[in-house]
């Protein structure tokens, strides 16, 4: 089997490899992917550092052309790359193709942004002096990504980093190196100079840690678990380095008595269970007022009965497998915890056997949960959702905000008054009215508050806040 190698200083290197396993069919090896070392990481950082002066001064047209070419190739190959994504991560083929299209759109967006770089010219408060405010790139950016969006998250970090003139050392999650390799290969062939984008696949504790330990990495953008995020923060403060963290969520969706039942059920089923509940913006707490509670639970349960859990590549599958054995154990452990805490298992909770051996779990719904239970406070990251019954809107809002996290929050209501109040008073970075808490646009800011995020927002023009540093220049006329 071919080994997909790391890209360091423009060369494909590495002979030690790890198997990429398909969670829908554990007999299938998706590919062999290089297992990077500390030495590889140091070489990649040195290459990115050496490539920085020229790339940071490269013309905006060159950046535009490369980003555009990459976006176009990803779009042209969406079915093939989408299938690879579905095979390595386990989300359904339509979801995987959708995510691949999203990656293409992100490259297209930043191809456009490259042509719109601008600064400000401002009069000084002193006579005969001009002031210019410009944005400089940071330098070497370390990109560390999780497994749940194998192509969209790498795209939304790589594209702005390159657009604003930074060089990169990129470490994808161990479980899903395939899509990362594909986009690095595409960008490399699109004409990026040697060393501008380096790919080091491998273990977080080895490659990721070596990035955290390097004084030559000027910025780290991280999406992953809270625990690792804290390590990134501590190491970055040590090196006086800029960092940006996207971590967990425990996203609430409020359903009020006046909600359109259909809209509420569709939004809850989508954001709770699609992509196997493995989205940081998934709704894992459904906070439902008394008057609609029983009807809502009954309708949602009926909906869950219609959802097919099966091989991600099979047509008709709504929910693919859990990503791996470790995550499956986390999910089933939390299902046990939920039962012990006294929540009522209203649907699912069982492992499923399918034609191909994989990590299949029924969508799982707990009712009669309280907001103090561990299943309502801790991020599970699986298709496990709890319903919390509340008296009225005020209690719903207080419950929604009573969480260590603050990524996304939703409300299903036909009341303009409550929708408006919720948008103003939700302590989340993103608020959805009559929409799933997951599912966002690519040209507007993405990010959260409290324990979910740290640092500037990602995506859209707000990405410049992280990937550049502002310079103020004064000139005597």
**In the complex, minimum distance from the CB of residue 250 to ligand ADP, in angstroms, rounded to a whole number:** 15
Q: How far apart are CA 142 and CA 99, in angstroms?
A: 23
Beta bridge partners, 280, equal none
C-beta closer to ligand ADP: residue 23 or 204:
204
**In the complex, minimum distance from the CB of residue 223 to ligand ADP, in angstroms, rounded to a whole number:** 7
**In the complex, minimum distance from the CB of residue 329 to ligand ADP, in angstroms, rounded to a whole number:** 12
Q: How many C-beta atoms lie closer than 10 Å to residue 267's C-beta?
A: 27
Q: Which of 88, 95, 174, 246 is catalytic?
A: 246
**In the complex, minimum distance from the CB of residue 349 to ligand ADP, in angstroms, rounded to a whole number:** 22
**In the complex, minimum distance from the CB of residue 461 to ligand ADP, in angstroms, rounded to a whole number:** 26
Instruction: Yes or no: say if 345 and 335 are a contact pair by the CB < 8 Å rule.
Output: yes
**In the complex, minimum distance from the CB of residue 212 to ligand ADP, in angstroms, rounded to a whole number:** 5
**In the complex, minimum distance from the CB of residue 16 to ligand ADP, in angstroms, rounded to a whole number:** 16
Q: How far apart are CA 137 and CA 466, in angstroms?
A: 9
Cα–Cα distances in angstroms (integers) from residue 109 to residues 68, 77, 119, 468, in the given order: 9, 18, 19, 17
**In the complex, minimum distance from the CB of residue 210 to ligand ADP, in angstroms, rounded to a whole number:** 8
Catalytic residue status for 11: no
302 Cβ partners below 8 Å, 6+ apart?
Answer: none
C-beta closer to ligand ADP: residue 26 or 209:
209
C-beta closer to ligand ADP: residue 171 or 285:
171
C-beta closer to ligand ADP: residue 327 or 356:
327
Of 463, 4, 7, nearest in space to 193 by CA:
7
C-beta closer to ligand ADP: residue 173 or 369:
173
C-beta closer to ligand ADP: residue 330 or 362:
330
C-beta closer to ligand ADP: residue 71 or 204:
204
Q: How many C-beta atoms lie closer than 10 Å to residue 91's C-beta?
A: 30
C-beta closer to ligand ADP: residue 208 or 363:
208
Cα–Cα distances in angstroms (integers) from residue 89 to residues 5, 27, 272, 314, 450, in the given order: 20, 15, 18, 14, 28
Contact residues for ligand ADP (CB under 6 A)?
Answer: 144-146, 171, 173-174, 204-205, 208-209, 212, 224-225, 228, 231
Which amino acids are annotated catalytic?
246
């Amino acid at each position: 089997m071919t080994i997909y190698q790391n890209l360091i200083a423009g060369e494909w290197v590495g002979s030690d490899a790890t198997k990429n396993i398909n969670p829908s069919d554990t007999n299938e090896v998706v590919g062999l992917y290089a297992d990077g070392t500390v030495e590889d990481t140091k070489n990649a950082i040195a290459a990115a550092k050496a490539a920085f002066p020229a790339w940071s001064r490269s013309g905006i047209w060159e950046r535009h052309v490369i980003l555009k070419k990459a976006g176009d190739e990803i779009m042209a190959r969406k079915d093939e790359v989408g299938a690879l994504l579905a095979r390595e991560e386990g989300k359904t083929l339509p979801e995987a193709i959708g995510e691949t299209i999203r990656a293409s759109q992100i490259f297209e967006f930043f191809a456009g942004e490259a042509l719109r770089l601008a600064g400000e010219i401002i009069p000084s408060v002193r006579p005969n002096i001009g002031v210019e405010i410009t944005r400089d790139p940071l330098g070497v950016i370390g990109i560390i990504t999780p497994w749940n969006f194998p192509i969209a998250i790498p795209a939304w970090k790589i594209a702005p980093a390159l657009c604003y003139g930074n060089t990169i050392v990129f470490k994808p999650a161990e479980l899903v190196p395939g899509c990362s390799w594909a986009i690095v290969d595409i960008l490399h062939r699109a004409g990026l100079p040697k060393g501008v984008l380096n790919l080091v696949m491998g273990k977080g504790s080895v490659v990721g840690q070596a990035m955290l330990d390097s004084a030559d990495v000027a910025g780290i953008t991280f999406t992953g678990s809270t625990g690792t995020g804290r390590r990134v923060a501590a190491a970055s403060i040590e090196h006086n380095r800029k960092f940006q963290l996207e971590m967990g969520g425990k996203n609430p969706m409020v359903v009020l008595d006046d909600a359109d039942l259909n809209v509420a059920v569709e939004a809850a089923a989508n954001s709770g269970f699609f992509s196997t509940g493995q989205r940081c913006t998934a709704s894992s707490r459904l906070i439902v007022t008394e008057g609609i509670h029983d009807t809502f639970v009954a309708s949602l349960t009926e909906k869950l009965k219609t959802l097919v859990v099966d091989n991600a590549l099979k047509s008709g599958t709504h929910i693919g497998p859990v990503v791996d054995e470790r995550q499956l154990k986390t999910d089933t452990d939390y299902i046990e915890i939920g039962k012990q805490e006294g929540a009522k298992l209203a649907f699912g909770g069982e492992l499923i056997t399918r034609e191909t051996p994989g990590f299949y779990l029924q969508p799982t719904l707990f009712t009669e949960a309280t907001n103090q239970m561990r299943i309502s406070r801790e991020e599970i990251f699986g298709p496990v959702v709890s319903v919390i019954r509340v008296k009225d809107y005020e209690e719903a809002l207080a419950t929604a905000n009573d969480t260590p996290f603050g990524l996304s929050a939703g409300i299903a209501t036909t009341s303009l008054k409550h929708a408006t109040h919720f948008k103003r008073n939700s302590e989340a970075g993103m608020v959805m009215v009559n929409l799933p808490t997951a599912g966002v646009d690519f040209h507007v800011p993405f990010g959260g508050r409290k324990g979910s995020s740290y640092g500037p927002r990602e995506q859209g023009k707000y990405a410049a806040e992280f990937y550049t540093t502002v310079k103020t220049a004064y000139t005597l006329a």
